[in-house]
Structure 1
Amino acid sequence: MPSTKLVVFDMAGTTIRDQGNVADAFIEAFIDYGIPKPDNDALNRVMGYRKIDAIRSLLKAGGTPVDEQLVSDIHEHFTELMIRFYEHNDLLEPLTDAENLFLRLHEQGMKVALNTGFTRRIADTILFRLDWINHPHIHAVISSDEVAEGRPAPHMIHSLMSTLGIQNSRDVIKIGDTAADVQEGKNAGCGLVVGITTGACTKEQLQQYGADYIIHNLQELQSLI
């Protein structure tokens, strides 16, 4: 591939440890509104997507009529649950090698960016708690509510490219742990789309959606660049 200028990482499950915490928040939000909890397959299918879109999909999958006020209310409750978790829970931590990898990429002249299906409120809560606000080796962060359409649309990646002055999407690597991440990278025309098995999807699931490479930890990414 052409020389890499930008590496775009997902957050939860890719650079931030996720032990089913996002799925748990969806389940709690649904139960609190008297809606049967989504099954595991349905939850897995929506990981990585803009969360308000994920809620619509989960309601449909469970046979609940999609009322937009209900969607909005559940989304707001989900957001508060996630913020509370990320503000206070000791389980929040970077995945092993994340910060070292950011440093190595920076030293090699590459830009590092984060993108997420979370809202900016949730993303900023994570960044603040990890002391990643104005991190010297993270050059940009974007959330799904800052673009017209979330994953699998390519808008977050294209916006990051514009912000960081990257002209050619073939100079971009996208890495994430969900089918939505892989599809986003493909739709953006990234030179390399890497799936990682530290989060929502298995190797087989990531292969199914067309990841160019699949790795099992962040350290393995260095050998692909």
Structure 2
Amino acid sequence: MKAIKLVVFDMAGTTVLDQHEVEKCFKQAALKNGLNSSDERILALQGYAKLWVFRTLWTEQLGENNPLTEELAQKSFQDFKSILENHYRTEPVLPTEGCLETFEFLHKQGIYIALTTGFYREVADIILSKLGWGQSLNRDYKNINNKSGIHLSVTPDEVGGKGRPAPDMIEYAMRQLGITDKQHVINIGDTPVDLQFGINAGVAYALGVCNGTHTREQLAKHANDGLLNDISDLIDFIQHD
């Protein structure tokens, strides 16, 4: 087993309990604007930056180079932001099963914890605040001395809008935490794009969890270095793989 110094986690569905709320908010904004993508198509694009998803789906509905695509994508995205922010402000936000146990183990091992997400910064901050994971972070959303919670939060906003599967958020996290060798890094998430994210970054292990938005069967179709029942299985993976 390679000496792991950093674990990069996805948020919704991996460390933050997600009972398909994000897809429901996305679908509500889509229907409000006349975008008629199927639930299966929306699920398949979970984990990507949401404005990019709207652009992609509007292009699929209207065809390439339609002059209305960007306007409709921006309008849909703004509606989605309002719906999603209201959801997270008014509804309970909880960690996933095994999350806090896993964080505690990583802290005891001296392993850094970074969260990445397809959400923009404002929503990420709402979630972090409600979970109590954001209070000790500085203006760079970092605290390398944290003894609980997380050491770093990264959104596409911090890397010029380059969301998954581009490797930029992982590479940014490594720079912020002083990790120079990708073979000391694990990336873990609950969607196919999370798996591709880790593979594109060239980390030691791109792992999936099967109790989030995608099942084991859905994730197994994509390249990966291991599929876990939930993130507490990461403890055994690090200790014994």
Q: TM-score range by the shorter chain?
A: over 0.9
Q: Match for 1:197 among 186, 210, 213?
A: 210
- Pairwise mapping of residues 178-189 of structure 1 onto structure 2 (< 5 A)? 178-189=191-202
Compute the TM-score of the two structures, normalised by the length of structure 2: 0.88
Tell me by how many angstroms 1:168 deviates: 0.6
Q: Which position in structure 2 is the counterpart of 1:62? A: 61
Tell me by how many angstroms 1:63 deviates: 4.0
Tell me by how many angstroms 1:106 deviates: 1.0
Conservation of the 8 A alpha-carbon contact between 1:50 and 1:145? no
Tell me by how many angstroms 1:147 deviates: 1.3
Tell me by how many angstroms 1:100 deviates: 2.0
Identity between Structure 1 and Structure 2 (%): 37
Q: Which position in structure 2 is the counterpart of 1:50? A: 49
Larger mean CA deviation between 94-103 and 197-206 belongs to: 197-206
* Partner SS for 1:62: helix
Q: Which position in structure 2 is the counterpart of 1:213? A: 226
Q: Which position in structure 2 is the counterpart of 1:177? A: 190
Q: Which position in structure 1 is the counterpart of 2:74? A: 72
Distance in 1, matches of 2:220 and 2:157, equals 28
- Pairwise mapping of residues 35-46 of structure 1 onto structure 2 (< 5 A)? 35-36=35-36, 38-46=37-45
Runs of at least 5 residues in structure 2 that lack an aligned partner in the other structure: 138-145
Q: Which position in structure 2 is the counterpart of 1:141? A: 153
* Partner SS for 1:132: coil
Larger mean CA deviation between 63-72 and 18-27 belongs to: 63-72
Q: Which position in structure 2 is the counterpart of 1:28? A: 28
Change in Cα spacing, 1:198 to 1:62, as seen in structure 2 (3 Å) is farther
RMSD: 1.5
* Partner SS for 1:112: strand
Larger mean CA deviation between 48-57 and 141-150 belongs to: 141-150
Q: Which position in structure 2 is the counterpart of 1:126? A: 127
Conservation of the 8 A alpha-carbon contact between 2:19 and 2:213? no
* Partner SS for 2:236: helix
Displacement over 6 Å in runs of 4+? none
Distance in 1, matches of 2:229 and 2:53, equals 26
Tell me by how many angstroms 1:204 deviates: 2.4
Q: Match for 1:158 among 142, 146, 171?
A: 171
Conservation of the 8 A alpha-carbon contact between 2:207 and 2:225? yes
Q: Which position in structure 2 is the counterpart of 1:8? A: 8
Q: Which position in structure 1 is the counterpart of 2:143? A: none
Matched, 1:99 2:111: no
Compute the TM-score of the two structures, normalised by the length of structure 1: 0.94
Conservation of the 8 A alpha-carbon contact between 2:59 and 2:69? no
AA aligned to 1:60 is: T
* Partner SS for 1:128: helix
Distance in 2, matches of 1:54 and 1:158, equals 22
Distance in 2, matches of 1:217 and 1:186, equals 20
Distance in 1, matches of 2:108 and 2:129, equals 24
